[in-house]
């Protein structure tokens, strides 16, 4: 049954042929093919979805990428190590600091560099601030896919407050480049913690308001509950991580499973549910939003006031790293975010490969998840996976 409680006529659906493919004859007029995207801006537009419909229901979906940025990994392989970070951050505009961390950590591990304790606290603070501003987009953004635009406007305002803090700390609002191989660029400005706490208090109020606007809203629940359900057996099949995996009952959070920086000194537990539909995937990010606010408060309360922020590094213009390979993982707002790097003794990486959640979740998983969905829900399903197209076209 569809959300309008209209019985579905499966007689018009295509059968699977001997070659394993659907037998879709467009000349029969039983089906129509349309495209969603590409258009910019918007998560649901930076990539194109080729949809085959029977009425208003999707019977086949094929993803097409290549309309945005491309070739980041190869660009990094042709740049000095100190130049690679500025390229790596473009691989996810929505949360670039995760790229800063994994790139810098790869360089440090392969060079045998241990960053100072103070730098670890500052990196964790920046990563949680990045998670916070990302969640302030995607949590109300899910409501926006169902016509609840008010929450989106609230989120834009509050995200701008966090970007103010980023600008105060790093001098930039989007691409911060605060982390560098060996540590970070500076300490917290005077009064930073006070201003951050004022912003967090406003976000506390937002958490309550968005609960009333979205999760207690009968229309939102009618559209989101039971839509685009991900069976638990798909989680490992598609390499699902982060909130999408936790909503299906899998407790996967790199900060807890493979602690890094100072996360083993913080008190938090990721929320886990047992039914991965649009509603629960959005709800779990609502809980993540509260957890992130709490973690920022913990970090600001526990971090030292002063300390060394950079380890000694070679001349960055002549930095050659011995042969080796490593994989560094972190927990972005979308889930496990990792980078694999190989060095060959020269002043440039031999190979760089990013592992981001969007590659499997927004291509392979999405194609299967859209089948039997109503065309009106296609954008909402994409947003529920927190797709980041630049992360795919890297």
Report the pLDDT value the prediction gives residue 359, as an integer from 0 to 100: 83
The domains of the chain are located at 10-64, 72-355
Report the pLDDT value the prediction gives residue 1, as an integer from 0 to 100: 42
Report the pLDDT value the prediction gives residue 9, as an integer from 0 to 100: 56
Q: What is the distance between the alpha carbons of residues 127 and 137, in angstroms, rounded to a whole number?
A: 16
Burial of 102: CB neighbours in 10 Å, binned 0-12, 13-18, 19+:
buried
The two structure tokens encoding residue 184: 């970070």
- The closest of 81, 78, 121, 120 to 313, measured between CA atoms, is 81
The backbone torsions φ and ψ at residue 183, rounded to the nearest 5 degrees and listed phi first, read 160, -135
Report the pLDDT value the prediction gives residue 2, as an integer from 0 to 100: 46
* Regions of the chain short of the pLDDT cut 50: 1-3
Report the pLDDT value the prediction gives residue 128, as an integer from 0 to 100: 97
Residue carrying structure tokens 């980078």: 339
Report the pLDDT value the prediction gives residue 188, as an integer from 0 to 100: 96
How far from each other are the two terminal CA atoms of the chain, in whole angstroms? 39
CA distances to 40, 60, 74, 102, 322 from 79, rounded to whole Å, are 29, 41, 9, 17, 16
3-state secondary structure of 33: strand
Residue carrying structure tokens 């070659």: 19
Q: What's this model's pTM, rounded to 2 decimal places?
A: 0.91
Report the pLDDT value the prediction gives residue 70, as an integer from 0 to 100: 74
Q: What is the distance between the alpha carbons of residues 386 and 91, in angstroms, rounded to a whole number?
A: 15
Report the pLDDT value the prediction gives residue 94, as an integer from 0 to 100: 84
Q: Torsion angle of alpha carbons 99, 105, 107, 110, nearest 10°?
A: -140
The backbone torsions φ and ψ at residue 298, rounded to the nearest 5 degrees and listed phi first, read -65, -45
Q: DSSP characters for 36-87? A: E---SSSTTTSSEEEEEEETTEEEEEEEE--SS---HHHHHTTS-HHHHHHH
The CATH number corresponding to 72-355 among 3.40.50.720, 1.10.3720.10, 1.10.645.10, 3.50.4.10 equals 1.10.645.10
Q: What is the distance between the alpha carbons of residues 269 and 288, in angstroms, rounded to a whole number?
A: 10
- The closest of 47, 57, 42, 69 to 12, measured between CA atoms, is 57
């Amino acid at each position: 049954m569809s959300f309008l409680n209209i019985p579905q006529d499966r007689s018009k659906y295509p059968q699977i042929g001997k070659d394993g493919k659907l037998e879709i004859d467009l000349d029969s007029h039983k089906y129509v093919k349309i495209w969603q995207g590409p258009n910019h801006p918007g998560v649901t537009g930076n990539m194109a979805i080729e949809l085959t419909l029977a009425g208003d229901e999707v019977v086949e979906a094929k993803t097409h990428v290549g309309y945005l940025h491309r070739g980041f990994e190869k660009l990094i392989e042709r740049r000095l190590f100190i130049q690679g970070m500025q390229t790596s951050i473009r691989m996810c505009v929505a949360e670039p600091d995760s790229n800063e961390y994994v790139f810098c950590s790869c360089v440090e591990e392969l060079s045998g560099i241990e960053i100072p304790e103070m730098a670890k606290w500052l990196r964790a603070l920046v990563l949680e601030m990045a998670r916070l501003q990302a969640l302030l987009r995607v949590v109300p953004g899910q409501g926006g896919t169902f016509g609840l635009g008010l929450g989106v406007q609230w989120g834009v305002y509050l995200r701008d407050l966090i970007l103010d803090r980023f600008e105060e700390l790093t001098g930039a609002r989007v691409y911060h480049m605060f982390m560098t191989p060996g540590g970070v660029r500076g300490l917290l400005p005077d009064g930073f913690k006070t201003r951050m706490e004022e912003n967090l208090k406003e976000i506390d109020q937002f958490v309550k308001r968005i609960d009333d606007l979205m999760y207690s809203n009968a229309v939102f629940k009618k559209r989101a509950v039971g839509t685009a359900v991900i069976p638990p057996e798909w989680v490992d099949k598609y390499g699902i991580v982060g909130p999408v995996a936790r909503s299906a009952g899998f407790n996967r959070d790199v900060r807890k499973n493979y602690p890094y920086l100072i996360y083993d000194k913080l008190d938090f537990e990721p929320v886990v549910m047992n039914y991965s539909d649009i509603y629960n995937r959005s709800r779990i990010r609502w809980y993540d939003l509260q957890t992130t606010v709490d973690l920022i408060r913990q970090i600001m309360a526990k971090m030292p006031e002063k300390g060394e922020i950079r380890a000694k590094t070679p001349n960055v213009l002549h930095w050659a790293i011995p042969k080796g390979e490593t994989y560094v993982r972190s927990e972005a707002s979308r889930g496990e975010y990792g980078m694999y790097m190989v060095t060959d003794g020269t002043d440039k990486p031999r190979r760089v490969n990013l592992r981001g959640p969007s590659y499997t979740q927004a291509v392979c998983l999405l194609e299967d998840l859209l089948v039997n969905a109503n065309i009106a829900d296609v954008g909402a399903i994409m947003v529920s996976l927190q797709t980041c197209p630049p992360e795919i076209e890297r």
